[in-house]
Amino acid sequence: MVQTHDGAALLGAQAKIPQSPDEAELDRVPNPHPDLNYLARFTQPEFTSLCPVTGQPDFAHLVIDYVPDLWLVESKALKLYLTSFRNHGAFHEDCTIRIAKDLVAALSPRWLRIGGYWYPRGGMPIDVFWQTAEPPKGLWIPDQGVAPYRGRG
């Protein structure tokens, strides 16, 4: 399980890339607007992990939307956490859902969804989507903006 720290322990400090998600840390900081429902989005267009069978690299475009409650994820810690998957062998579904579950465990957001748009492996793209529940009523949720995979056609 990923470690969580209150405060920005990694922000402004030199930090090594964790060798695996198990070694990563997710810093969280207080939400300055806990009275509001608003959407925060992180987009990682160059996410990489490894195929657990072949060891070959897999690539994805991740979009993480969440409605914070008391905590925000610190962006540098999130970048390092996501980068820690580059040497991690797991299937697309496992990577996508693990990231969502780790963020939920660290932040206890009011709502979270993730879209994992994976580039083809064996000629077939695999997209993975998950959310914690129905979004809060009245929340503006923009489209994730990732076109379906069309190849060269």
Give domain limits for the chain: 18-131
CATH number of 18-131: 3.30.1130.10
In the structure, what pLDDT confidence band is assigned to residue 148 with cuts at 50, 70 and 90? Answer: confident
User: CA end-to-end span of the chain, whole Å?
Assistant: 41
Are 102 and 1 contacting, i.e. CB atoms less than 8 angstroms apart? yes
**Tokens 């190849």 belong to residue:** 151
Give one DSSP letter per residue of 45-87, joined into a string. Answer: EEEEEE-TTT--EEEEEEEEEEE-SSEEE-HHHHHHHHHGGGG
Name the pTM for this structure.
Answer: 0.91
Check if the beta carbon of residue 18 is closer than 8 Å to that of residue 87.
no
Question: Is 58 part of the annotated catalytic residue set?
Answer: yes
Strand order in the sheet with 3-6: 3-6, 25-30, 71-73
Catalytic choice (27, 58, 65, 102): 58
Candidate list 6, 22, 35, 51, residue with the active-site label: 51
Mean pLDDT of the chain, nearest integer = 92
Average pLDDT estimate for 43-51: 97
pLDDT at 123: 84
The answer on pLDDT for 17 being more than 80 is yes
- Per-residue confidence at 14, pLDDT binned at 50, 70, 90? confident
Q: Is the pLDDT of residue 50 over 80?
A: yes
Query: CA-to-CA distance for 97 and 93, rounded, in angstroms?
Result: 6
Residue 49 · residue 96 · CB < 8 Å: no
3-state helix, strand, coil in the chain (%, to 5): 20, 35, 45
Give me the mean pLDDT over the 54-75 stretch. Answer: 97
Measuring CA to CA, how many Å separate 86 from each of 5, 7, 37, 57, 82?
A: 22, 26, 33, 8, 8
Average pLDDT estimate for 113-119: 97
